[in-house]
Amino acid sequence: MNTLKTVGISTTRIDTLQRVTGKAQYTNDVKLPGMLYAKILRSPHPHARIRSIDTSKALAMPGVKAVLTNENCKVIWGAGSIAGGVQYSDEIKKITKQHRYAFNNPVRFAGEPVAAVAAVNRHIAEEALLKIHVEYEPLPFVLDQEDAMKPDAPQIWPEGNLALSNRNEAVPMGQKRGNVQDAFAKSDQVFEDRFSTAFVHNAQMEPRSAVAHWEGDHLTLYTPTGGIANCRTDMARDLGIGQDKVRVISQYMGGNFGNKNQNQDADLIAAMLAKQTGAPVKLELSRKEDYIGMHGRWPTTQYYKVGVSKDGAIQGIQLRGYSGMGPYRKNSGAMAGVELYEVANVETSIHPVYTNKTVSGNFRGPEFPQGYFGMQSMTDEVCANLKMDPVDFVLKNMTRKPGGGAKYTDYSLEECVKRGASEFEWAKRWKKVPGSDPGAIKRGAGMSFMAFRSGLGRSDAVITVNAQGKYTVHVGVTDVGAGAKSTMWMIAAEELGVPLSQVDVMWGDTDHCPYSVGESGSRTTIMTGGAVVEAARDLKKQIAAKGMPAGTAMLTATVSANPRLPEGLVRSAFAAHYVEVEVDAELGRIKVLKYLAVHDCGRIINPLTAHGQIHGGVLMGIGMALHEDLIYDKRSGTALTAGYYGARVLTHRDAPKIDVIFIENDDGYGPYGAKSIGEAGKVPAVAAVGNAVANAIGHRMKDLPITRDKVIAVMA
């Protein structure tokens, strides 16, 4: 790989100073003249028909300016439901049967908005909520995704509990290749098992908030979103106005991890209250509201059947899975993992299921960490039964071609696996006999691997240069935590061949920034970064042709890039994770001693941020494996552990040292060969931790999170 001047050098983020000195303006910092404050009344019932709502006493309170309920606000929140994992669109809006409104009747989960108040201050708004009288008719409810598929389960929608696709079809997702029954018959051994994963919240630092302000028929929305363009499109569609009538501003935001793309109901509720009152309205969710009112990772139940030959070659994989979507299908409910193996015979059937729990949606590798946990726990257990080293098993069975005759643009998975095994000293740390450490303190090691989408796609960029030689990059990014502003800054400086000090970046405002794909799916560096490269090249050509601008003149390069991979090529990021844990069998404590993540994310644009992304992803993976859960009271159907305290999100003191190795390649696609990275750190981590625990204690923990009570139940 050729060396570059700016790209590849650890660079402090472009907005670090603003963030650490408190100058950065987050949505909650926005204060407009005459601004009102909103609060939401939420359903205490997991499933209930609203017989009546009396808002008269609330409206009569001095300082209360408006109350919205499903009776006077019929706005449909498109992105809140039947997207089916596909971006909501005008076409889908037309045909969708199952509408999610900003306020729904019946309510379908405890915490669903029932009414919203706008008042002159927060206290009055909150007091007004207490004055709203709602008569509920509680309906039977179901919390577990498997229970919801039983014939006698309460029906959450008239069409049943199997979630509809965006074509209104109630069919499980799945694939069929070869013949698994024949494969099992021919296998030397066939294994079956069940795994489950819990609901885990995105737990981003900044809870949801929104400030909406109408000037005539023009809406300005301040909101923490990773996709200002998507949010604008969604708001315009939901409100039935032109996109040119909506401006979305997100200058700074405090984390995303997948639950701040598109628009959210908080945006719509703030906008409708602002419309109703004729004043700007600010809506801020508490941490608890954010936990139950937004979305998290879908809980799953996974049944595997795997057939292997004596030498450990997988002959067939069958998966029947159930994903708990809550009562609205905000994402697909898919499960990744089976595609990791080169197997001729595959049959999967995955059921996205409606439940009366809080809603599931995008979260850092939406279908990956939970699917990988199930699949790679299953194969690790197969290894243990075959008395085979998991590294050998992986090298024998892992994907080497993406299937269908296609090829990877470049392939480094084998290098990730082998390099990791060597650097980690796998042979020394992995227990040939699981659980064989004598005494209460037991160590063991586990590994997992990843092949993760890293495709190309559409994004726009504009770069200008003035007579002083100052370049300004206009990009529709906001930095959800992965450093997109700085990435674009570095890419522009590199391609323009100028120092960073000569480059400014304009971000986070739909009135001043062109379309960007939205910071989800680990694709902004590739797609928007690719557009920045194109724009810089265009600008350089203009300068070469016309010379630098003089006086007040400027040169502008506007690019709408939409590169495609050649037919038959698949682009993928690869990784292998190795982890050593120590389990105190008497006290049920699991401690991560050593963690190594080997990643091919193509060329690393900013090593500082890239390491941080892997660290953060691994920590989230450890949290999902060992800690986090949204525990429900089964009788009331309400969540008991919403928030950082209850869900036991990891703290700094829980963070082990995490070693990261990047295997850098330039496959010729994406800016300088950059691939996906944001989700990659988390995707394999959960499975690796689970496998390490099994190796340490000699007992497979099949249900996440692997908490103390479960460890003690099998060990003490």
Q: Give the footprint of other proteins on this chain (CB under 8 A).
A: 123, 126-127, 286, 288, 440, 586-589, 627, 631-636, 638-641, 644-646, 648, 650-654, 707-709, 712-713, 716
CB 361 to other proteins: min, Å: 23
CB 356 to other proteins: min, Å: 17
Complex with other proteins: residue 400 or 634, whichever CB lies closer: 634
Residues 56, 133 contacting (CB under 8 angstroms): no
Complex with other proteins: residue 4 or 587, whichever CB lies closer: 587
User: Nearest to residue 295, comparing CAs of 224, 204, 219, 212?
Assistant: 204
The b-or-e profile of 217-247 (16+ CB within 10 A means b, else e) is eebbbbbbbbbbbbbbbbbbbbbeeeeeebb
CB 631 to other proteins: min, Å: 6
Strands (E), 601-655: 632-633, 638-639
Label residue 545 exposed, middle or buried (CB < 10 Å: 0-12, 13-18, 19+). Answer: exposed
Handedness of CA 536, 542, 544, 550 (dihedral sign): negative
Complex with other proteins: residue 511 or 633, whichever CB lies closer: 633
Q: What is the DSSP string of 498-560?
A: --GGGEEEE-SBTTTS-----S-TT-HHHHHHHHHHHHHHHHHHHHHHH-S--TT-EEEEEEE
CB 169 to other proteins: min, Å: 37
SS3 (DSSP) at 234: helix
User: 628 to each of 80, 255, 288, 622, how far by Cα in Å?
Assistant: 24, 18, 15, 9
Handedness of CA 708, 711, 714, 716 (dihedral sign): negative
Name 278's Cβ contacts closer than 8 Å, sequence gap at least 6: 214
CB 533 to other proteins: min, Å: 43
Q: Pull the structure tokens for residue 247.
A: 């401006």
Checking DSSP bridges between strand 218-222 and strand 200-201, what pairing results, if any? unpaired
CB 654 to other proteins: min, Å: 5
Complex with other proteins: residue 128 or 491, whichever CB lies closer: 128
Complex with other proteins: residue 463 or 693, whichever CB lies closer: 693
Handedness of CA 667, 670, 673, 678 (dihedral sign): negative
Q: Pull the structure tokens for residue 127.
A: 């007091």
Complex with other proteins: residue 440 or 553, whichever CB lies closer: 440
CB 700 to other proteins: min, Å: 18
CB 37 to other proteins: min, Å: 13
Distance CA 604, CA 631 (A): 39
Q: Pull the structure tokens for residue 442.
A: 């037991």
Backbone angles phi, psi at 141, to 5 degrees: -135, 165
Complex with other proteins: residue 260 or 594, whichever CB lies closer: 594
Complex with other proteins: residue 38 or 598, whichever CB lies closer: 38
The b-or-e profile of 499-517 (16+ CB within 10 A means b, else e) is ebeebebbbbbbeebbbbb
Complex with other proteins: residue 337 or 588, whichever CB lies closer: 588
CB 39 to other proteins: min, Å: 11
Complex with other proteins: residue 554 or 713, whichever CB lies closer: 713
CB 614 to other proteins: min, Å: 21
CB 284 to other proteins: min, Å: 13
CB 710 to other proteins: min, Å: 8
Q: Please report which helix (H) or strand (E) contains residue 177, including its range.
A: strand 176-177
Complex with other proteins: residue 61 or 543, whichever CB lies closer: 61
CB 681 to other proteins: min, Å: 20
Distance CA 47, CA 114 (A): 12
Q: Pull the structure tokens for residue 203.
A: 């737990």
> For residue 564, which amino acid is it?
R
Q: Pull the structure tokens for residue 344.
A: 């001729």
Checking DSSP bridges between strand 281-284 and strand 36-42, what pairing results, if any? parallel
Strand order in the sheet with 572-584: 441-453, 572-584, 589-600, 658-662
CB 493 to other proteins: min, Å: 39
Complex with other proteins: residue 526 or 711, whichever CB lies closer: 711
Complex with other proteins: residue 245 or 288, whichever CB lies closer: 288
Label residue 138 exposed, middle or buried (CB < 10 Å: 0-12, 13-18, 19+). Answer: middle
Complex with other proteins: residue 126 or 342, whichever CB lies closer: 126
Complex with other proteins: residue 206 or 664, whichever CB lies closer: 206
CB 20 to other proteins: min, Å: 18
Complex with other proteins: residue 139 or 712, whichever CB lies closer: 712
Q: Which residue has the tokens 């008719």?
A: 137
Complex with other proteins: residue 64 or 92, whichever CB lies closer: 64
Name 151's Cβ contacts closer than 8 Å, sequence gap at least 6: none
CB 68 to other proteins: min, Å: 22
Local structure of residue 179 (DSSP, 8 states) = -
User: Nearest to residue 515, comparing CAs of 323, 227, 84, 290?
Assistant: 227
CB 588 to other proteins: min, Å: 6
Complex with other proteins: residue 387 or 652, whichever CB lies closer: 652
Distance CA 598, CA 447 (A): 11
Local structure of residue 632 (DSSP, 8 states) = E
CB 471 to other proteins: min, Å: 43
Residues 33, 279 contacting (CB under 8 angstroms): no
User: Nearest to residue 448, comparing CAs of 319, 628, 617?
Assistant: 617
Checking DSSP bridges between strand 589-600 and strand 658-662, what pairing results, if any? parallel
